[in-house]
Amino acid sequence: MKEALTPNQQRIYSKICTDLQEKQEAPTLEELMNFMGANSINSMVQYLEALEKKGYIIRRKNAKRNIELRDKDRYNNTSTISVPVIASVGCDDLSVFANENYDESIEVDKTLIGENKKIMAVRAVGNSMNDADIHDGDYVLVEMTSKVKSGDRVVAVVGDMVTVKKLEIRDNMLILRPESKDPRYKPIILGSDFNITGKVMAVIPGDSMDITEVVYSYNQ
């Protein structure tokens, strides 16, 4: 599975794919610079280097339009779906109210999701899951399912609050455990008023989310 793209990397990759499909030629560095509204060709070169390193493109030397897709068939046969960002989740504690309202969505490659899965995205609040590389402001892709097992990272609604933690099932008890070395973060022992709504599929850093076109890769 290819490494996930940052939003700007995905935007440039989509532009390359569109031009190759519609114009039968790749964009030049100048065209990419104008498309992104950038002032530096060097920044475009850095984006292309990242796309090549992650396995999305190949650059041929000594050509003006030197970009090729590494996997043409995959691009031609796939499409994206819009995934709603349902709510924020409290990674520090149960401090964020659960709700189903959303005014944001992200675009996800259908081939990375699989068939017959209901998907949502949530945004992490806090750092009690930082050892699992889930940090404050990150976007978390979640499969909405109650079929989870001990060791899964899950999204759970406890009372009116929502959180993401690692699930532990022990001696008929359900425990939501933080994944952080910080001793402030404590496990939550679930009682009767809770609902596990899904399990974590992937995470993408939120600090780079300046647009909503994102391709995810699984990190399980």
Query: DSSP string spanning 70-98?
Result: S-HHHHHT--EEEEEEEEEEESSSS-SB-
Give pLDDT tens digits for 122-168: 888 889 999 999 999 888 888 988 889 999 999 988 877 888 999 99
- Strands 119-125, 80-90: pairing is parallel
Residues 71 and 92 in one domain: no
Residues 61 and 134 in one domain: no
Q: Give the residue-averaged pLDDT of 4-31.
A: 86
- C-alpha separations of 146 from 97, 171, 194 in Å: 20, 20, 12
pLDDT at residue 77 in the model? 47
The CATH number covering residue 197 comes to 2.10.109.10
Query: How far is Cα of residue 78 from the mean position of the Cα atoms in its chain?
Result: 18
Structure tokens at 55: 């396995």
Residues 86 and 72 in one domain: no
Asked, for residue 166, whether it belongs to a domain, the answer is yes
Q: Looking at 88, 165, 166, 199, which residue is catalytic?
A: 165
pLDDT at residue 134 in the model? 92
Q: Looking at 128, 166, 180, 199, which residue is catalytic?
A: 128
Asked, for residue 220, whether it belongs to a domain, the answer is no
Asked, for residue 96, whether it belongs to a domain, the answer is yes
Percentage of the chain exceeding pLDDT 90:
24
Residues 24 and 127 in one domain: no
Residues 200 and 104 in one domain: yes
- Who wins on pLDDT, 164 or 91? 164
Give residue 19's domain range: 7-76
Given 52, 76, 100, the domain boundary residue is 76
Residues 54 and 103 in one domain: no
Q: Give the residue-averaged pLDDT of 5-10.
A: 78
Give pLDDT tens digits for 174-210: 999 999 999 999 999 888 778 898 899 888 777 544 4
pLDDT at residue 31 in the model? 92
Q: Where are the beta strands (DSSP E) in 115-160?
A: 119-125, 139-143, 153-158
Given 48, 76, 104, the domain boundary residue is 76
* Residue 181 bears catalytic tag: no
Number of domains in the chain: 2
* Residue 14 bears catalytic tag: no
Residues 24 and 47 in one domain: yes
Q: Where are the beta strands (DSSP E) in the chain?
A: 57-59, 67-69, 80-90, 105-109, 119-125, 139-143, 153-158, 161-170, 173-177, 188-189, 194-204
Residues 106 and 59 in one domain: no
The length of the chain, given as a count of residues: 220
Rounded CA separation 199/217 (Å): 15
Residues 63 and 97 in one domain: no
